[in-house]
Amino acid sequence: MPTKQAEPKKSDLQLTAVLYALSDETRLQIVKSLVKTEEIACGYFDIDMPKSSLSHHFRVLRNAGVITSRKEGTALMNRLRKADLDERFPGLLKSILGAA
């Protein structure tokens, strides 16, 4: 079984990784949904694609430090790391979401 890669610490967030994660329309849609609520389970996103493809997008966002995930029973709950992103890259998230 593959080992889970740890989410980067706030101080380790890299601008290029965050920009790459937010450059995909599906991942941007996930982030837009997370801005509107505190946490959402993976299965509650209204995105029409195979589960394996959706898992890939969540992994990219998590590895870049854009989201954090935690297990709750059988669900994987996702939350936007807005405070960390705003502190590390002031205005970036607001600017990208405003332009999208």
* Lateral strand order in the sheet of 40-41: 40-41, 75-80, 67-72
22 close to 66: Cβ distance less than 8 angstroms: yes
- Taking the C-alpha atoms of residue 93 and residue 19, their distance in angstroms, rounded to an integer, is 10
Query: pLDDT tens digits for 51-95?
Result: 889 999 999 999 999 999 999 999 899 999 999 999 999 999 999
Domains of the chain plus CATH, in order, are 21-99 (1.10.10.10)
Q: pTM, whole model, 2 decimals?
A: 0.89
Give the pLDDT confidence score for residue 1 in this predicted structure. 40
